[in-house]
Amino acid sequence: MDDVSLTIAGKSFSSRLLLGSGGYPNRQILLDAIRAARPAMVTVAIRRISLEAYAESLVDLLAEQTLLPNTAGCASVRDAVLTAELGREALGTDWVKLELIGDRETQYPDVELLLRATEELVRKGFTVLPYCNDDPVTCRKLADLGAAAVMPLGAPIGTGLGIANPHAIARICATSAVPVILDAGIGTASDAAQAMELGCAGVLLNTAVAGAENPPLMARAMREAVCAGRHARLAGRIAKRTQAEPSSPQLGLVGSG
């Protein structure tokens, strides 16, 4: 089993970490964090990028990265589809992270609209990666509609609470026909490692790095955590026990017998 490359829609990436580009103190820190993270893709909100070719545009700044446009801020199918089409025109990619928020306070997705938008974007030739609830049924329906991956939340966006329902994430990973990318809620490196240990194919995060005291150092920690979690998943953890079991044999101890 490959422990390095992430494959989505037939395309392979050398990292299983995806990194957001919003909320950094300045653009130099963003660039330093990206260098430390070495992510497979960097997500960019279409409503935030400049479509003009001037030197400081975000598109130009991240020219060496594989960009994944997202529909952040959209609250209707029409807006999400239009935003995805603008991203395809601006960035020359038919990949899109689909976000359709149903509640501004919790930033939870609107599942009904998400399903409709996924179906329409797939029909228009997009490679759709929808941000969704940690619900195995929703994830299955999205995959059935043609989503290239599913991106369930670990906890509400920006909270840093980690994975609130690890059993649901594990269930999604065990039953999904497409890669599962844990998205939202990551607060520190151990959260990212846990996501991989639960069976996720990758992790997407933003605030945990952008809001850290030292974003580049946290970005490096996240890269290493994703690798460690993946290796632990492949290695297979020991079974949990209710009683202690010594690692050294009792036979031959001084004074025994």
Give the span between the Cα atoms of 74 and 101, in whole angstroms: 7
Does the active-site annotation cover 11? no
Nearest to 224 by CA among 5, 37, 12: 37
Q: What is the dihedral of CA 238, 243, 247, 251, to 10 degrees?
A: -140
Nearest to 93 by CA among 8, 186, 205: 8
Paired tokens of 206? 């933003």
Paired tokens of 145? 């509609």
Question: Cα angle vertex 151, ends 57, 234, to 5°?
Answer: 110
CA atoms within 13 A on the CB side of 97: 27
Catalytic residue (one of 11, 97, 124, 141):
97
Give the pairing type, strands 17-20 and 41-45. parallel
Give the span between the Cα atoms of 97 and 72, in whole angstroms: 9
Asked if 189 and 197 touch (Cβ cutoff 8 Å), the reply is: no
Nearest to 169 by CA among 187, 189, 192: 192
Give the span between the Cα atoms of 98 and 130, in whole angstroms: 4
**Which residues are known to be catalytic?**
97
